[in-house]
């Protein structure tokens, strides 16, 4: 990881990770990747599956560790909107169908997208000081 550690979520479940998986996406890789995957591009479908799986894993870890009521997804990837939310919820439901424990957690219902125009990083930084 650029921060010097290993295993950071930034490497797997971030906009930068998505850009590494789908470098031909230009300025809006999430939008481009989702469109290509929906149009049947096998490479895009693989990249999307890999990335959504990593984000779903991050959500699962967060909920299992902190039992948060909601998980907010923010950043440039939220420009995709509903289709991103649908893909993530679908993956969380797929994983829950394989685990009685996860099926009781209601992970898919806990996901919310922060509007892409919202600048929440300063809010998060301010809250981290308390």
CA distances from 46 to 14, 38, 41, 61, 83 (A): 16, 12, 9, 23, 16
Higher pLDDT, 80 or 54: 54
Rounded Cα distance, 108 and 89, in Å = 5
Residue 130's pLDDT band (boundaries 50, 70, 90)? Answer: low
* pLDDT tens per residue across span 3-22: 888 888 888 888 888 889 99
pLDDT at 25 over 90: no
């Amino acid at each position: 990881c650029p921060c010097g550690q290993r295993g950071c979520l930034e490497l797997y479940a971030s906009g930068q990770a998505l850009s590494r998986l789908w470098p031909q996406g230009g300025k809006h890789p999430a939008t481009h990747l989702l469109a290509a995957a929906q149009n049947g591009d096998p490479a895009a479908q693989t990249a999307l599956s890999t990335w959504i799986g990593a984000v779903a894993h991050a959500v699962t870890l967060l909920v299992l560790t902190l039992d948060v009521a909601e998980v907010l997804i923010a950043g440039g990837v939220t420009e995709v909107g509903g289709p991103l939310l649908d893909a993530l919820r679908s993956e969380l439901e797929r994983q829950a169908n394989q685990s009685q424990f996860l099926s009781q957690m209601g992970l898919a219902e806990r996901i919310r997208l922060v509007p892409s125009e919202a600048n929440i990083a300063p809010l998060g930084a301010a809250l981290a000081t308390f």
